[in-house]
Structure 1
Amino acid sequence: MTPRIAVLPLARPTFDVPYAQEMAAAAFAALDRAGIATVGPRELLFDAAATEAALEGLAGEQVDFVLLMQVTFTDASMTVKIAERVAAPLGIWAFPEPRAGGRLRLNAFCGLNLAKHALGRAGRKAGWLYAAPDAPEAAADILAMARGGQGPAAEPVARSEATSAEDGRRADAALAALRGARIGLVGEHPAGFDTCRYEPAALSALAGVGVEPIRLDEVFARARAMPADAVAQTRAGVSRDIAGLEGVDQDQLDRSLRVYRALEGFAADRDLKGLAVRCWPEMFTDYGCAACGPMGMMTEKGVPCACEADVYGTVTSLLLQEIAGEPAWLVDIVDMDAASDTGVFWHCGSAPLSMADPATPPEAQIHSNRRMPLLAQFGLRPGRVTVARISQAMNAPKMVLAGAEMLRAPLSFTGTSGVVRFDRAAGEVAAVMMEQGLEHHVALAYGEHRPALRAAAQRMGLEIVELT
């Protein structure tokens, strides 16, 4: 008997809505062709009110399975609420998009990643599928999930090699630098970003790191009060490193440079070793600029910055920076393609400039969704990279590690991005990420640093999850 499936298509209006509607329509058409009976709305659910109304509409329906279409990136707040409200098994279907060099139109993989992490922390299982609506086996895979399957599966790599004395020395030096360090928390993490939650006492016990709260309005006030000559001096320096400043809105650029000087001032005044910044929406809606470029500039200076007020992300970047001896950047994984055996690391435009590929020198860019500067756009230079995350997946602290090779490739999406080939098949890496419920932010640095990170994890009492 064919299961009866309730479908809830989740999306956000800040992404490419016509393209999202096209993808959702194609997915529904694929389910219809396969003879799968579905109930629920077929229009995109853009907010909590629409999703609540859709849940109410399903109240009297008998369904065997609830399928969340992760049409675009969304936060996980409604995903968790759906999981609390429905007793039927859950699955999530997210859609790839072409690496065409333009804006990230859906960012659905990242939404799937965020959702799986949040459900893992909430103790709720969910199947998953990352496939185009027209993929030959997509409908069959959905049916398999509805009948009890969980989607692609893989286990972390098991390693037994001992760390060397030199690895231990590097780990000890890095952990000593963290002990007593303070991280500036600018604002609070957005709702539905369980990846960015943290407990001060747990963080202090784990790494000896404290957190210094900074209100967003304090940053805005300090930015507004910045002397014009100081801003002009900063612009002159930035113009030597980033081309095309004259091509973006000049008032918004001025505000963005003021944010950089404000963040720099707070870090200096309070002796902050890193910053976790609520970079949206208020930075755009209340102040009128993007924080991405300023955060990249701070990271280049050795004060790593994490988007979305991700404190554990900042701490991971700081640890990796200390071990690598050069900047570490917090990124999203926005695509994993089994056919090419590659993934894409991306963020809006916050990478440190030292990571730029000489073939794509940094240029000024505006935020792909909010349309404001300053972002630095470039591709990441080829070379060996280490990926790390001090994770809270499934509510248990652990160290996540991976090795990969950054490839020289055309820019996948606007902002800063790089195409990587992991030391393991991309499909298997994605499967471990989803099944382990890992965070959507990981820290990246050039070089091979996993042995020292393993030594650090051992000293911190952390389980090690090896992706590759």
Structure 2
Amino acid sequence: MRAKNYLEVKVMGNNIPEVKLGVIAVSRDCFVISLSERRRAAVKDACGKKGIDLFEAKTTVENETDMQKAVEEVTAAGCNALLVFLGNFGPETPETLIAKYFDGPVMYAAAAEETGKDLINGRGDAYCGMLNCSYNLGLRNLKAYIPEYPVGTAEEIADMIADFVPVARVLIGLANLKIITFGPRPQDFFACNAPIKPLYDLGVEIQENSELDLLVAYRAHKDDPRIADVVADMANELGMEGNQYPDLLPRMAQFELTLLDWAEQNRGARKYVAFADKCWPAFPSEFGFEPCYVNSRLASRGIPVACEVDIYGALSEYIGACITGDAVTLLDINNSVPRDIYEEDIKGKYDYTLKDTFMGFHCGNTPFCKLAKGAAVKYQLIQNRLLENGGEPDFTRGTLEGDIAAGQITFFRLHGAADGTLHSYIAQGEVLPVATRSFGGIGIFAIPEMGRFYRHVLIEKNYPHHGAVAFGHVGKALFSIFNYLGVDDIAFNQPKGMLYPTENPFAE
């Protein structure tokens, strides 16, 4: 199936789930049911004041029959994520069976007591009920999202729901995601090892293809009538300063349409897609350009395209896109910051040591909207040396280059290790407003205690050089997601005084 025009393609590029929340209140039959119902209504009202749309199931669950009716009610309303609300102690079996029969992520939270003036009929004991609820979830091997402190007033529970929304968006996305790959890893890129079984364990589908499949599809899009619209959109995005090779845009537009059409024709039973593509060394000479700028454009629309067939990089990017609802990128944890740049532009201005800093780089896949002023389509310097003998660039053009805009970031990765187990790391920091003096899509990153994190997490646990970047501090949501997914190893940049298991306590 081919979209009729480019505007239609852009609409179909909506690749991030929309969360529709429901709430089911539960009540133990020896408590006053109206207490749970009143508290449920208060939660809905508090959510409305915060701009959170919450469907309120009118069936209050006291037994298994109620449970079935309530699940049918929220399902019929189109809910794909759910709060099970303990307005009082709650019935252990029916309330946990909700998580079994509801098709979507489920959060559990409990009502705090409102006033010391009404602790007879107005006492719900949900603080106690959450303990039995969690025990029963464990007995049934059921996954659920439970906030850090899951007991609160209606307003506090509304805040918990706001934290749950990005988590639910990721979980819904992963359950409906297909990662499409083209080509094997480039030679000597064993770090992008991608055991498939953990993807299936997460509920993610995968389709692996040859570079030749992609080349055939690309050639079939020659003279596609939509190319002109894509070229115009690219030129508008880049502006006069950024559009340094206007003759290259039709080639890249043809490729963008190829990927979008491939996604539509191959998503199958899945709603969402991400790509992991081989981008060198054969790609530029055969396609006639570097794919980086096109990759950046898709990433800005919630369709990550990971470089170098990094399947778990694509997975991580997609998670970041679902959390933020914004563009993400994939970068090499690339090079140290020279001491002279640190002394001139960082020391005394920002509270970081030299070892807290590094440069994150890739050839040019970071979306235009995340680059500082002056970004432009350029050529891949390293590939130009290798493939065009350092001469006038032709097919090594197509990177999107510029310094990454300053601001908060989270560097993270969910990774399938060689033994088939899942590992992850999360490190919050920032991109500094300091010129890199270098090439590619690049920025000076600062993460507290990065030096120790680099040695005792990234190196010690055999992580590859690629990390996903979300533009904001989203560690809280990432930790909840990885925990929900059953990832036992969730590493982070530990503060001073909190030693890593492999850290030498006598080192200075």
TM-score (norm 2): 0.56
Q: Distance in 1 between matches of 2:304 and 2:445?
A: 22
- Correspondence 1:325 to 2:339: no
Question: AA paired with 1:218?
Answer: D
The aligned residue for residue 240 of structure 1 is 236
Structural mapping, 1:255-294, within 5 Å: 255-271=251-267, 272-294=272-294
| 1:374 aligned counterpart, secondary structure | strand
Contact 1:219/1:259 (8 A) holds in 2: no
Q: Percent identity?
A: 21
1:420 aligned to which of 424, 434, 445: 445
Task: Please tell me whether residue 391 in structure 1 is matched to residue 415 in structure 2.
Answer: yes
User: Aligned to 2:383, what secondary structure does the other structure show?
Assistant: coil
CA contact (8 A) 1:223 1:255 kept: no
Distance 2:448 2:453 in 1: 9
Residue 447 (structure 1) aligned to one of 465, 472, 479: 472
In structure 1, C-alpha distance between the alignment counterparts of 2:307 and 2:188, rounded to whole Å? 14
Structure 1 CA distance for aligned equivalents of residues 236 and 459 of structure 2:
42
Tell me if the contact between 1:182 and 1:211 (Cα under 8 Å) persists in the aligned partners: yes
Distance 1:219 1:173 in 2: 30
2:381 aligned partner, one-letter code:
S
Task: Give yes or no for contact 1:348–1:416 (8 Å, CA) kept in 2.
Answer: yes
Instruction: Give the counterpart letter for 1:367 in structure 2.
Output: Q
Match of 2:179 in 1: 183
1:375 aligns with 2:393: no
2 CA distance for matches of 1:163 and 1:431?
33
Higher alpha-carbon deviation: 332-341 or 207-216: 332-341
1:311 CA displacement: 0.7
Larger radius of gyration: 2
CA contact (8 A) 1:394 1:436 kept: no
Aligned-pair CA distance for 1:214: 2.9
The one-letter code matched in structure 1 to 2:364 is G
Question: What is the aligned partner in structure 2 of residue 312 from structure 1?
Answer: 312
In the TM superposition, what is the alpha-carbon distance from 1:273 to its structure 2 partner? 1.5
Distance change in 2, residues 1:199/1:366 (3 Å): same
* Cα pair 1:365 1:373 within 8 Å, conserved: yes
Counterpart residue identity of residue 373, structure 1 = R
1:437 aligns to 2:462 (yes or no): yes
Q: Which has the higher relative contact order, 1 or 2, with Cα contacts under 8 A spaced 6 or more apart?
A: 1
Map 1:67-86; keep pairs closer than 5 Å: none
Query: Which blocks of at least 5 consecutive residues in structure 2 are unaligned?
Result: 1-146, 151-159, 338-352, 385-395, 495-508
How much does 1:385 deviate?
Answer: 0.7
The corresponding residue for 1:467 is: 493
Contact 1:298–1:304 (8 Å) recurs in 2: yes
Number of aligned residues: 303
Name the amino acid aligned to 2:167: A
Report the Cα distance in structure 1 between the residues aligned to 2:243 and 2:418, rounded to whole angstroms. 47
Aligned in 2, Cα 1:394/1:264: closer, same or farther, shift over 3 Å?
closer
Equivalent residues in 2 for 1:121-200, closer than 5 Å: 162=148, 165-166=160-161, 167-200=163-196
Q: C-alpha distance in 2, partners of 1:412/1:208?
A: 43
| Partner SS for 2:226 | helix
Aligned: 1:214 with 2:226 = no
Deviation readout 1:248-299 (Å, 9 max, x if unpaired)? 383x553333222211211222235210001111212322210111111111
Is the Cα contact below 8 Å between 1:249 and 1:373 reproduced in 2? Answer: no
